[in-house]
Amino acid sequence: MTSLGNNTDGLEVGIVVAWTLSVNPSDNYLECNGQAVDSTKYPKLYELMHNTPDYRGVFLRGLGGNSAALGITQGDAIRNITGKTYTTNVPTAAGFEYGTGAFYIFDLGGQSVDNSGSYYSYIGKGLAFDISRVVPTAEENRPVNKAVRYFIKAK
């Protein structure tokens, strides 16, 4: 039986593994947090890179498709979100006002004052945009995920 970190695990220096435990694997692995590689302790890894990659807080993605080039960090983005609205200024055409997707029409209602100081009533419509009507929302863009720690084989 073999385990991570010994000399018989069959993993090449430089391979990255996802680690699900809070305790670190053996000292044959370095955490992928951008740290400097000690050239005397890890000469094989040092030949490949002088610092470990920093994978904290990012998602790793297979090369190809819409990915960036190998080793390049790609910025975040979302798919285009669209919708349509239609309204008319004919007061009796309430049935002709709608919004689709993230857009919706809402009633304003209220009172206003004209230049003579007279009050008049009006019923108005407003246009609103609410992305949560079409996608889940949060403080960040993210796919479904579970946290792991990434380590790189150093020796």
The predicted structure's pLDDT at residue 40: 97
Q: Report the pLDDT value the prediction gives residue 53, as an integer from 0 to 100.
A: 96
**Phi, psi (deg, nearest 5) at residue 94:** -55, -30
Pinpoint the alpha helices (H) of 18-81. Answer: 43-48
Task: Indicate the length of the chain as a whole number.
Answer: 155
DSSP 36: B
> What does the alpha-carbon distance between residue 98 and residue 151 come to, in Å, rounded to a whole number?
53
Integer Cα distance of 14 and 51 in angstroms: 11
Under DSSP, the state recorded for 133 is: G
Q: What is the pTM of this model?
A: 0.66
The CATH superfamily label for domain 1-76+144-155 reads Phage tail collar domain (3.90.1340.10)
Nearest to 123 by CA among 95, 89, 155: 89
Per-residue pLDDT at 79: 81
Q: What single-letter DSSP state applies at residue 17? A: E
**What's the rounded Cα separation, in Å, for the pair 135 and 143?**
12
d(CA 150, CA 88): 57
Which sequence spans correspond to the domains of the chain? 1-76+144-155, 85-133
Predicted local distance difference test score (pLDDT) of residue 114 = 64
Residue type, 62: G
Phi, psi of 139 (to 5 degrees): -80, -5
pLDDT per residue as tens digits for the range 105-138: 777 666 565 666 665 555 667 778 888 888 888 8
* pLDDT number for residue 1: 36
Q: Please list the ranges in the chain whose pLDDT falls under 50.
A: 1-6, 92-93
**What residue type is 77 in one-letter code?**
A
